[in-house]
A and B are shown apart, each in its own frame.
Chain A
């Protein structure tokens, strides 16, 4: 029997959600493909038509969250009238919002995927692609409506923003302020600085200098802001990531 595309997609999502729930409950190691299949009411063998391994499910989960966020912001009324900073900020918050029910799992997911998806791999490429396409779209519209001057939006700039995003996600995972107010403040701060550089059309200079200038300004600002002790590894990431 041929299964329709729609049903296929539904099953895929069902499997991802079930897997994540089980992994949160029992831990990654103790969750088996078989258990996932049974809980999701999918045949023991059928699951392999969708995912060859547990690890791939974790990657698929991250990709799924990214796609959901893109769909969500597309549905926000008048989103095209938002400024660039508002758009990027809303995009970031929307992604985090999506991760919220599985926040503990994110730590596990990052460990399993063995890297922040900054480094390129066969698995991370599609995830990064979704993010970068979205960011590039924001930047292009901002140039079109003359909010920022014309400047090259090659892969360097969106990648820089991807790095910024990763640092924010890491901060968020450890943030214990009510409603993650601290993360929101960090976003506001970092995006504010980024916007300043973009508005002056200086990003290219910064990138030419190997990102040194930008990293320096950003880091010195953020450094004084992040003064909690748990933050030292975020700081290290921050230095490395940029």
Chain B
């Protein structure tokens, strides 16, 4: 069930309390430090304490706002790596809708009782979704279906949660949040727009149809929407068989199998990004079902990004400039996107990009990049070196936010798969 107003108020109050608490601790710490000898140690403890508080606050957010929080904290490395990983796992599970509520949603959306709409339907969900739940059903024609049902009133919950998140990020006495407020603003605007789109299942249905029509990638399957059984808050599609990526991986598949799966995921992304300027922007392992013959069922087209026409080509060029060590060109693209302000002297920018250049081009240097042989690769994003990049970035670009989320998400999966992948934008 959706949040009731008084609970929302309670959570907003809780969020403000965290802010005050963290601010208080910060003040106490500032007052104490001059008299401390072991400042470094105290500093570390202090930061851990603050991080813990922030983490606790962020982890109470619901579905989409939680995703936004994950994104911002990852992008800005506000939290230490372990907490970042924890936060990524924190996946708020709402209490499932009981059968009376499921009936009510179906009845009001499809104007008939569930047993009339479907030949059969299990009113107890088999999977949780971030803003709804998914039920197994059979059509009158005998087709196996997955029916995604949205929590009533979730729209308001998202808006109020985004408000809480903005309060948190705006008030926390963490210097980087102040310095990067412009960037955070752009990011949140983009994320909120995408997530509000997710609440319209009709939009998701259109996306599924579109991708299904255009998909030519070998080994990628996309569900089929049943339009007459789909509305704004009910999405009925063909049931995809297969295991979640994580489950599948737990079954210890061979190197070749993992390589195949990873390559298919990359090809799927690259093809749509480069040729259609449009891509599936939610690469979480729960959105891929590995079926027979390693066919990958891609589900969850709630979050799809349409970029400006020139963006993908420019991004591919950016990578080539990095590889060719043409840093002036790199900087000018960043400037054009607004990531780096033109006021910053190039002499300051170049050293900041040095480490990043090496890091970001590494997977492109080899014909097949072996994530298994470089187990540290993705976690280097949390190293101090990475902060040098954050220092020179002033803002971000909406297209870039979703690209980055997807690219990093895919690489995280490849790292988990210990796969060998041919990464390229050509």
Contacts and interface: CB of A to CB of B under 8 A. Distances in A.
A188 B98 CA distance: 10
A222 B109 CA distance: 27
Interface in A54-90: 76-77, 82-83, 85-87, 89-90
B98 A180 contact: no
A181 B152 contact: yes
Nearest to B105: A179
Contacts of B5: 224-225, 227
Interface in B91-114: 98-101, 103-104, 107-109, 113
A189 B6 CA distance: 12
B48 interface: no
Nearest to B1: A188
B115 interface: yes
A189 B1 CA distance: 9
A181 B101 CA distance: 10
Most chain A beta carbons < 10 A, residue from B99, B103, B107: B99
Contact of B152 (A82, A86, A185, A189): A185
Contact of A225 (B6, B100, B107): B6
A97 interface: yes
Interface in A180-217: 180-181, 184-185, 188-189
A77 B115 contact: yes
Nearest to A88: B100
B23 to A, nearest CB: 29
Contacts of B24: none
A93 interface: yes
Contacts of A97: 107
Contacts of A227: 5
Interface in B250-279: none
B411 to A, nearest CB: 41
A90 B99 contact: yes
A76 B100 contact: no
B2 interface: yes
A89 B101 contact: yes
A89 B115 contact: no
Contacts of B115: 76-77
Interface residues of B, number: 18
Given A76-B115, A184-B152, A185-B153, A93 B103 contact: yes
Interface residues of A, number: 21
Contacts of A77: 115
Contact of A224 (B6, B98, B104, B153): B6
Most chain A beta carbons < 10 A, residue from B6, B103, B104, B108: B104
A93 B6 contact: no
Most chain B beta carbons < 10 A, residue from A85, A185, A189: A185
B101 A76 contact: no
A93 to B, nearest CB: 5
A171 to B, nearest CB: 14
A189 B103 CA distance: 17
A179 B2 CA distance: 14
B108 A86 contact: no
A227 B4 CA distance: 11
A142 to B, nearest CB: 14
B100 A82 contact: yes
Nearest to B109: A179
A87 B2 CA distance: 20
Nearest to A225: B4
Contacts of B101: 89, 184, 188
Nearest to B6: A224
Contacts of B153: 181, 185
Nearest to A186: B4
Contact of B107 (A87, A89, A93, A188): A93
A230 B324 CA distance: 69
B8 to A, nearest CB: 11
B137 to A, nearest CB: 13
A184 B6 contact: no
A90 B6 contact: no
Contacts of A90: 99-100, 103
Contacts of B113: 76
Interface in B1-28: 1-2, 4-6
B12 to A, nearest CB: 14
B98 A83 contact: yes
Nearest to B2: A185
Nearest to B120: A77
A219 to B, nearest CB: 14
Contacts of B98: 83, 85-86, 89
Contacts of B152: 179, 181, 184-185
Interface string B276-313: 00000000000000000000000000000000000000
A93 B100 contact: yes
B153 to A, nearest CB: 6
A131 B60 CA distance: 41
Contacts of A188: 1, 101
A180 B152 CA distance: 10
Interface in A66-120: 76-77, 82-83, 85-87, 89-90, 93, 97
A86 B4 contact: no
28 contacts: A76-B115, A77-B115, A82-B99, A82-B100, A86-B99, A86-B100, A87-B100, A89-B100, A89-B101, A89-B104, A90-B99, A90-B100, A90-B103, A93-B104, A97-B107, A179-B152, A181-B2, A181-B153, A184-B104, A185-B1, A185-B2, A185-B152, A185-B153, A189-B4, A224-B6, A225-B4, A225-B5, A225-B6
Interface of B: 1-2, 4-6, 98-101, 103-104, 107-109, 113, 115, 152-153
Given A185-B152, A189-B4, 20 more contacts: A82-B99, A83-B98, A85-B98, A86-B98, A86-B100, A89-B100, A89-B101, A89-B104, A90-B99, A90-B100, A93-B100, A179-B108, A179-B109, A181-B152, A185-B1, A185-B153, A188-B101, A224-B6, A225-B5, A227-B5
8 closest A-B pairs by beta carbon, nearest first, are A89-B100, A179-B108, A224-B6, A86-B100, A90-B100, A181-B152, A86-B99, A188-B1
